[in-house]
Structure 1
Amino acid sequence: MNNKVYSNMLIFSGFLWAVNGIVLSIITNLNIYENSGVRISFFSPIIFAGLNDLFAGVLLLLFNVISGKIREVCEVLKTKNGKIIIFAALIGGPIGQCMYLMGLSMAPVSYVMPVSALCPVFGMILSSFILKERINLKTQILIFGCVIGTVILSYTKPVGNYPKFYFGILFSLLAALSWGIEATLITFCTKGNVDEKIALNIREIVSGSFILFIILPLLRIFDSVFIVFDNKVAILYLFFAGLFAVLSYSFFYKGMKVLGVSKGMALNSTFSMWAVVLSVIFLSVPLTLNLLLGSIIVTGCVICLTLNN
C-alpha cells in the first residue's frame, strides 16, 4: 500500500475515535451514579475509562485467539518491547484515558476532543528525540496549523451549565500529553517488528485491568462497577465504545508505523473536526463561528498533510 492509503487510514481512525468520544460522552451523561454520592459521581469517568479499555482488550483478545496469535501475545510480553508497551499503556490508559474521560464529564465533547488533539505537538517533540525522526519545515507548519485550529475551536466557553469547564480543558491537555508519550513509545515497539494488534491488545488489557483492579480499589469505589453492569443501556454503549476504540487504535498504530509519529498523530487528530460535526448532528451542539473556523483550518491542514505524504 502507498502512503496515501495509510493517510486515509489515519483519517478514518480519527473518525472512529470521534465516534468513540461521542458514545463515551453520552455514557458520562447518563447520570447512573447520580444517587451514589458526590465522591463516586466525581470519579465515575474513571470507571467508564477502565471498562472501555477492558472491553476493547477482550475484543482484541478474542480476535487474537481466533487468528492464532495468542501465543505471540505471551511471547511479546517477555521481551523488552513488551515491557515498553506495558509502560506506554500505563501512561496512555490510567493517566491519558482517565484524564480524557474526566474532561468529557466537565466540558462538551466538541471542546474536549480538539484540545486533546494537541497530542501531535507532544508526539512531534518526543519522536524527534526518541525515534530520531526528522521533521521538515512544511510538516511543522501544517502540524502547527492543526494546533491553531484546535485552539480556535476551544477558545470560547460554551453556552450552558459547565461550572468546571476549564478543569475539563486542563484534563484534556493532560490527556494530550499522555497520548503523545504513549504514541511515541508504541511506535518505537511496532517499528521493532511487534504486530500492531498484539501491541494494542497488551495496551488495552493492561490499561483496563490497572484502572479497574488497582486504581478503583485504591479509591475505594470498586463496588460501584457493578452499578454499571445493572444498567443495560450503559453496557451496550460501552460495548460499542470499546469496538470503535479497537478499530480506531488498530488503524492508528498501523499508520504511525509507516508514516511516523508526527504525521500519524496529525492526521489522526482530525477526530477534532469529526467530533464537531458529529456533536452538531447528534448532540445538538450549536455551530458557532469558532467551531466552524477551527474545523476549516484543521481540515485544510490535514488535506495538505495527506498530499505531502
Structure 2
Amino acid sequence: MLNALLSGIFWGADTSFMGYYFSMYSIYFVVPLLFPVFITLIHDMVSALLINISILVTGRFNSVIEDIKKAKSKYIWLGSLLGGPIGMCSFILSIEYAGPAITAIVSSIYPAVGLFFAYIFLKERRRPYQVIALFIAIAFIIALGFIDESHSNRSIIGIIFALVCACAWGSEAVLCSYGMKSGEISNLSAICIRQNLSMITYGMLLTLYFVFFHYGESIDFNSSLAYIGIAAIFGSTSYYCYYRALATIGVSRAMALNISYTAFSAIFSYLLFGIELTTNQMLIGFCIVVSGLVSAYDFEK
C-alpha cells in the first residue's frame, strides 16, 4: 500500500511542476497541439534516461533484456502503448478541446474502468465497502474539479478524448498487472518498457512533423525546461512505485491510492508555487486521500 500512496504523492509533485510550466512558459508551434506533445516528449525522455541509467548502474541490464524477451512482455508493451502515447495524447487533446478542469473530471473515472476490467479478466474481488470508497474518491475528485472553475467550453470532442484517456489508463493498469503477475516480469522492466516506448513514439511523431511538415518553428531550449526535468524525476519515481504496487497489491487497490495525486498536486502547488488553496479544496483533498486508503485497505484481514 505504501508504494501505491507514494505513487500518488510523487505524481502530485510531477503534476504541480508541469502545471506551473504550462501556466508560465510557452514554445511557439504553428500547430498548437505540438507544444504539449513536445513537452511530454521532454518529460518522458528524461524519465526514460533516468530509468535506463538506474538499470545500468544497478547491473540489471541483462535481467531486463531477458524480461523483454518473455512471452508475457507483450502485455506490458500493449499496456504501455495504451497508457503512454494513446492515453497521454488523448489527455492532451482533451485539455486542448475541453479545458483542464473537464479533462480532469472525466479522466478521473479511470480507476472505475480498471476495476471493471480487473474483475472481468484478473478475477480480482473487492469487498463492497472498498468499491463504494473508490467511487466516493472519484466523486470527490469530480467535485474538486468543479470548484472555482469555468466550464463554458464543454466540447464533445474533448470529452470523447478524455473518455479514451480513462479507458487507456484503466486498461494499462490491468494489462501491466497481468504481465507482472507471479513475478515473471519485474516492475523495473515494465516501467523501462513503458517509458522507452513512450519516448520513441513521441520522438517519431515530432521527427515526422519536422521532416515533412516543418513550418519554421524556432524552439528555444532555455532554463525554463528545467521544470520539466524536475517533474520527470518525480514522475519516474511515481511510475516505479505505481508499477510495483500493481505487481504486489493488484490493480484496484493500487489505483485507489494512486488517484490521491489530485490532492497532493494541490498541496505541492501551494507549498512550492504559492497557489492558494480554499478551505473546500483542502477538505475535499483530505477526503480523496482517506477514501483511497479505505478502498485499498482490507479491514477484515
Please name the residue that 2:267 is paired with.
277
The yes-or-no answer on 1:149 pairing with 2:140 is yes
Structure 1 residues 283 and 165: alpha-carbon distance in aligned structure 2, compared to 1, 3 A threshold = farther
Instruction: Name the structure 1 match of 2:168.
Output: 178
Distance 1:163 1:209, change over 3 A: farther
Which letter maps to 1:212? G
* 1:76 aligned residue (67, 72, 78): 67
Q: How many residues align?
A: 295
Task: Report the Cα distance in structure 1 between the residues aligned to 2:95 and 2:234, rounded to whole angstroms.
Answer: 17
- Counterpart of 2:239 in structure 1 is 249
Q: Name which of structure 1's ranges 263-272 and 100-109 shifts more when overlaid on structure 2.
A: 100-109
Matched, 1:133 2:127: no
Q: Provide the residue aligned with 2:114 in structure 1.
A: 123
Cα deviation, 1:239-295, whole Å, max 9, x if unaligned, reads 212211110011111112121100110011101111232334425255274x34532
| Counterpart position of 1:268 | 258
Determine if contact 2:67/2:186 at 8 Å carries over to the other structure.
no
Q: Is the 8 A contact 1:126 1:181 kept in 2?
A: yes
Shift of 1:145: 0.8
The answer on whether the counterparts of 2:43 and 2:232 sit within 8 Å (CA) in structure 1 is yes
2:14 equivalent to 1:23: no
TM-score, normalised relative to structure 2: 0.85
Quick one: percent identity of the two aligned structures?
Answer: 22
Offset at residue 158 of structure 1 (A): 1.2
Given the alignment of the two structures, is residue 227 of structure 1 paired with residue 219 of structure 2, yes or no?
A: yes
What letter corresponds to residue 132 of structure 2 in structure 1?
A: I
Q: Is the 8 A contact 1:117 1:271 kept in 2?
A: no
Tell me how far 1:104 sits from its aligned partner. 5.4
In the aligned structure 2, how far is the partner of 1:145 from the partner of 1:138? 10
Counterparts in 2 of 1:137 and 1:170: CA distance versus 1, 3 Å: same
Residues 286-301 of structure 1: pairs in structure 2 closer than 5 A:
287=278, 289=280, 291-292=281-282, 294-301=284-291
Task: Return the offset for 1:72.
Answer: 2.1
Contact 2:260 2:292 (8 Å CA) reproduced: yes
Q: For 1:217-248, what per-residue CA distance to the aligned partner results, in whole angstroms no more than 9, with x for missing partners?
A: 258567989825x22221x1222122111100
- The aligned residue for residue 42 of structure 2 is 51
Distance in 2 (alpha carbons) for counterparts of 1:249 and 1:118 = 19
Q: CA separation in 2, counterparts of 1:273 and 1:242? A: 19
Against the structure 1 CA distance between its residues 84 and 224, is the aligned structure 2 distance closer, same or farther, given a 3 Å change threshold?
Answer: farther
Is 1:91 the equivalent of 2:85? no
2:260 corresponds to 1:238: no
Indicate how the Cα distance of structure 1 residues 163 and 24 shifts in structure 2: closer, same or farther if over 3 A, else same. farther
CA distance in 1, matches of 2:254, 2:224: 34
Q: Is the 8 A contact 2:37 2:89 kept in 1?
A: yes
Deviation at 1:308, TM superposition (A): 2.7
Q: Name the SS of the counterpart of 1:187 in structure 2.
A: helix
Q: Which of 194, 198, 201 in structure 2 is aligned with 1:203?
A: 194
How far apart are residue 81 of structure 1 and its match?
1.9
Structure 2 match to 1:189: 179
- The one-character-per-residue Cα deviations of 1:3-46 (angstroms, maximum 9, x if unpaired) are xxxx1221121011011111122233344324x43x1x232111
The residue number in structure 2 matching 1:258 is 248
Distance 1:22 1:226, change over 3 A: farther
Q: Are 2:55 and 1:61 equivalent residues in the alignment?
A: no
